[in-house]
Amino acid sequence: MPSSLAHHYHQGLRDQDILHQLRAHYPDGPTLHQLAPLDQLHIGGIAASARLLGLLDQSAPQVLDIGAGLGGLMRQGAALGFHITGLDITHRFNALNQAISQLVTNPPSASSSTGSLRWVTGDACALPFGDARFDAVLFQHSLMNMPDPSPVLAECRRVLRPGGQLVMHEVVSGPHSETLRFPVPWAEGPAHSHLLTLTALTQRLQTAGFDIQHCEDWSHTALEWRQRQRQKEQATRTPVVSPQWVFGERFMEMGKNLLDNLANRAINVVEISARC
């Protein structure tokens, strides 16, 4: 399963083309907003990441981002002063994430590869970290790729310090899940899509020892955002970077299905903050 999941994410990835494009168009280094079409591949973009990071305790800076992808959330968090370790099962994502971070010059804190940011290739079911290592764990559209969340949440509980936070911005199964259309960015088909209902997700969190402090469904906002993005994707102007540099031409179908799934309420988008 891990190798086939990694293949889903890197089969269309244009690693060297992306770096060449960024260097050519942003010789002084891209900003976080210029990178957003490439590295904020979740529903809601950079604004959703800002919401997620706003739930964190700024006095507890050691953060683990599970399913870090190309690092948009990491760099945005580093700019706020957090020290973020990004874990992803796709090694090519981690390598490109690190290379992009080294290009970023604005803000300076986001480009420090030795202090603010760290990259690890690994499986969330067996986190390669010691006990009580982190103040917070983040999930942003990553738990939905995990067939069994129970060992993942148990590992999160283990690596968190007492009172540590678990913060999620996740896609969950909606009331009309039977209408779910594939492919979507996280899966070509049902084999890699493991959406829980919100009720099931909160139950899993509580069973793992987490006390839920904040839970908000913002599917309506997500739908509006996705509608705006779809219009941009259909524009004739060629962007500097886009999700197609990651997913290839199949992203046009993925993007349409994502919009339809939100509109049909096959999926919902939720934001959760909990403490152990």
Q: What is the mean pLDDT of the chain?
A: 93
Q: Cβ distance 195 to 141 under 8 Å?
A: no
72-125: pLDDT as tens digits = 999 999 999 999 999 999 999 999 999 999 999 544 444 444 358 999 999 999
Pairing of strands 83-88, 117-121: parallel
227-271: pLDDT as tens digits = 999 988 887 778 899 999 999 999 999 999 999 999 999 999 999
Note the pLDDT of residue 2: 60
User: What's the pTM value of the predicted model, to 2 decimals?
Assistant: 0.94
211-234: pLDDT as tens digits = 999 999 999 999 999 999 998 888
Q: Cβ distance 104 to 29 under 8 Å?
A: yes
Neighbours of 54 (CB within 10 A): 11
Q: Of 242, 199, 198, 201, which Cα lies nearest the Cα of 218?
A: 198
